[in-house]
Structure 1
């Protein structure tokens, strides 16, 4: 169990690109007696690693971390480095994606709290961490981590199926994603419509879906792009 420290000795860092929310947390924590700080945009530039570098430089004991950090990118990538530095990370986010919450927990976050929760709940978590107390039920943590792992496996499966497409099938799928119909693809590619239908049928079989709409949806879900240039 972590030894409780005097609040004045506990540096709590707020990493959030919403200035009003960050300022509110900083003020509330300061009133509680903590050494509260926040990472300001004018202090850490605009590169994807700038916020992390600024946070690590301040050597916080507890970090209240948002996930959607504007031009600083996805806060998930900051969890593991902050934890490795010795910080106790609490994710405070507007995201309601449970798999994303699970990913944060998998990387070492102590817990995840929605931004819609009362301020007192966030402060209570900070107090419990300083007291060395648990802040999330083990069963709930395991459930969220499993959701993330399941989602990751599903994504990897989609990636593998998309990688199985031939060069020509990639071109056809890219056309479908641009909203082109079989007739348009045939005309652009100077082949028969029957040939394109055969290629589409092969794409659906490899992706294990039953429609062009489902194939396009799968490709968009993983931000897939053809490895070949496609003429419009």
Structure 2
């Protein structure tokens, strides 16, 4: 059972997220929080597999909470709830170790898929959000979009052929176990490749590496997920 914490200052949003997750037989919402400080306390108390945090909350926001949760309860993966126009916040959340991102107005099925993916150790970066991040990086002065794509391709070319293959699957939101099945290798081999990829790309989390995979244009088409 995947134990989940929900944090949002809007009671209706919390109720909606809980209702969606309640339809999944393998997910159990064990706690709710109304702000980032409360979320950190609830995460320490309940040790959920996944914390679903609103990216903006009063007081301690979701990004600060994500950083503290990742630092004090590292086994808890973080999924950020965002709205359009919050691209700066998404970039900050990536830097704080968030592993998944979901748009509040998105498909409810994405919420379940994102929680499952992050609980399984994967990064969940839907193509629409990945495209926004890539475009925002270019618009923010971090290089033109074409320039960033070229730089990402150069960085990816420095990887081995197998590492490029693994990075592509990371960008597609696959867990180590799923990648192992695709490549017909043991999961430990995939873990070693992921560690090497993160070191070579000078990154400390899978979601940031997934952005590079999207920038380089190597992410394979999404496969149908479980119901």
**Is structure 2 residue 73 aligned with structure 1 residue 78?**
no
Distance 1:150 1:119, change over 3 A: same
Q: CA RMSD in A?
A: 3.1
**Is structure 2 residue 131 aligned with structure 1 residue 121?**
no
Paired residue for 1:143?
A: 134
Aligned-partner Cα distance in 1 for 2:117–2:44: 23
TM-score norm. by structure 1 comes to 0.50
Deviation of 1:110 (Å): 0.7
Q: Is the 8 A contact 1:67 1:75 kept in 2?
A: yes
Aligned-partner Cα distance in 1 for 2:117–2:140: 28
Paired residue for 1:100?
A: 89
What number of residue pairs does the alignment pair up?
Answer: 137
Deviation of 1:96 (Å): 2.1
**Is structure 2 residue 2 aligned with structure 1 residue 17?**
no
- Superposed CA deviations along residues 93-127 of structure 1, whole A, max 9, x for unmatched, are 23522121011011100122221112111111112
Paired residue for 2:37?
A: 49
Q: Is the 8 A contact 1:39 1:55 kept in 2?
A: no
* Equivalent position to 1:37, from 30, 44, 57: 30
- Superposed CA deviations along residues 9-51 of structure 1, whole A, max 9, x for unmatched, are x21111111111112212322331212134245xxxx8x7344
Distance 1:37 1:20, change over 3 A: farther
> Secondary structure of the equivalent of 1:112?
strand
Deviation of 1:146 (Å): 4.6
TM-score norm. by structure 2 comes to 0.51
Paired residue for 1:168?
A: none
Q: Is the 8 A contact 1:103 1:145 kept in 2?
A: no
Higher-Rg structure is 1
> Secondary structure of the equivalent of 1:37?
strand
Distance 1:24 1:80, change over 3 A: same
Aligned-partner Cα distance in 1 for 2:53–2:125: 16
Q: Is the 8 A contact 2:101 2:124 kept in 1?
A: no
